[in-house]
Amino acid sequence: MASSAAAFAAVFVTLWVAHTVGDHWVQTSTQSAHKGEHDRNPGQSSRTGRSACTRHVISLTLTKLLLLALVVLALDLPLSPAGVTAGLGLDAASHWWADRRSSLAWLAKVTGKSEFYSLGAGTHAKHPVTSDGSPAGHLGTGAYALDQSFHALFLFFAALITAAI
């Protein structure tokens, strides 16, 4: 039987791996393209955006649950259904909130990270360009880095809750 600390470590690693797989391999291109859509009226979320984000979070959470079940069975981790439900529930809610995009952009603004958030995007004053001055392709943006670090923070809390309850 694993200690709480070992259970936390195993759960965190599992959730991190499942997160990267679910966010990059399982998520569909349609979900990725539309999950942040909003109507033209400020504060009004579009049904398409909410639906795409919800489908993404469901598939992501199922990926995490599947990999977590494999680890629980293989390592005989002492996790309770209540702990798994609470941990994955917090993770799913926080992921949905961040992936609507306007919420994470707002968080970047109120924490003084707007310039970093726009880093790598065509709207940033020093965005990468090709020799002819057109936008250059690259891996990642400030928005992506802040998105992934936000998710990692909540994976930490989810693992802690999952192992502690």
Q: How do residues 8-23 score in pLDDT, each as one tens digit? A: 999 999 999 999 999 9
Give yes or no for residue 130 having a pLDDT over 60: yes
CA distance 16 to 52: 22
Q: pLDDT digit string (tens) for 41-100?
A: 665 568 889 999 999 999 999 999 999 999 999 999 999 999 999 999 999 999 999 999
- The share of the chain scoring above pLDDT 70, in percent, equals 84
Q: What is the pTM of this model?
A: 0.84
Domain spans of the chain? Answer: 4-111+143-164
DSSP bridge partners of 38:
45
Q: What angle do CA 75, 92, 78 make, to 5 degrees?
A: 20
CA distance 144 to 41: 25
pLDDT at 118: 84
